[in-house]
Amino acid sequence: MRTINYGKAISEAMHEEMLRDESVFILGEDMGVMGSVFGLTRGFMAEFGADRVIDTPISENGFVGMAVGAAIRGLRPVVELMYVDFAPLALDQIANQAAKMRYMTGGKVKVPLVVRAPGGAGRRNAAQHSQSLDALFTHIPGLKVVAPATPFDAKGLLKSAIRDDDPVVFLEHKFCYAMQGEVPEEEYVVPLGKADIKRPGRDVTIVAWSRQVIFALEAAKTLAAEGIEAEVVDIRSLVPLDFETISASVRKTHKVVVVHEAIKRGGYGAEIAAQIMEELFDWLDAPVKRVAGLNVVIPFSPALEDAVFPHVPEIVAGVKEVVR
């Protein structure tokens, strides 16, 4: 199987869906002439034209609102927010319009909209360009939320998101764009709402998503050398959440560590931990452990930035605390 990077996988997903369905179009800041700030749409404007690859003004509320309207009228817009940090500027359109429209019209109006939102720390982009706002979107009924960790999942999930009739917030970690992985050349999709066991194990379950899956897999290797076999569950889809896969893993290992990059307070990991405690309490041999970011603004200093979100050593330490 060929190997491509995460960014190329996302680019291919958009390109293939635009070829497959003329109702698909993309828009956002610098998406056309520049080919997006991360280079994911280079050549798209020349191939598809300015009607389907739209450079927008710096007005998230405006162009996301335009996309919501287009989706209501039957098109399938794919919006890029240059950074997820800018999502609050368009939150009224995302939370009060896109997320609620299908319910408020009794199902008569669909909003097949994808909002791509690069986020995450580690690139020295400082406080206003480095956040992880996963929990914000998961708290809004009507939105589907996905956060792929690998190129294979990024392409397959984005294709599914574009074809879905509900609004999907597609969270991409900026640090993953250069990450290589196997991706088939033939057509495939990854269904929304289905987790994936990235590594089987018997002693402890590590639940993670986005870049933390990569760290969790490295941590599992370290732990295996010490005789601890960790099962790594990549939820991939935050909403809908595949709790059945999590449950099956917990019933096997009886110990759980939930890992995410966003700050610990109010993080989505707390929701997963609460569900496990409520529904699987009798299967647990230890309390659910959360390993997450510190409750601080992301610093610009490289040393400080690296200290505020989990890496492999923090995950290893968290697992050992639960297992021993």
Residues with catalytic annotation? Answer: 60, 129
Contacts (Cβ under 8 Å, ≥6 apart) of 227: none
Tell me the C-alpha distance between 320 and 261, whole Å. Answer: 19
Strand order from edge to edge, sheet including 196-199: 196-199, 230-234, 204-208, 256-263, 289-293
Nearest to residue 171, comparing CAs of 123, 231, 236, 217?
A: 236
Q: Cα(319)–Cα(311) distance, rounded to whole angstroms?
A: 13
Whether the CB-CB separation of 53 and 33 falls below 8 Å is answered with no
The rounded distance, in Å, linking the Cα atoms of 120 and 281 is 32
Q: Residue 196 — φ and ψ, nearest 5°?
A: -140, 135
Least Cα distance to 311 among 150, 121, 48 occurs for: 121
How far, in Å, CA of 192 to CA of 133, rounded?
A: 19
Q: Which two tokens stand for residue 107?
A: 């199902």
Asked if residue 11 lies in contact with residue 154, where contact means CB atoms within 8 angstroms, the answer is no
Q: Which two tokens stand for residue 216?
A: 């969790």
Interacting residues of 305 by C-beta distance below 8 A, sequence separation 6+: 121, 122, 124, 130, 298, 299
Cis peptide, bond prior to residue 240, ω within 30 of zero? yes
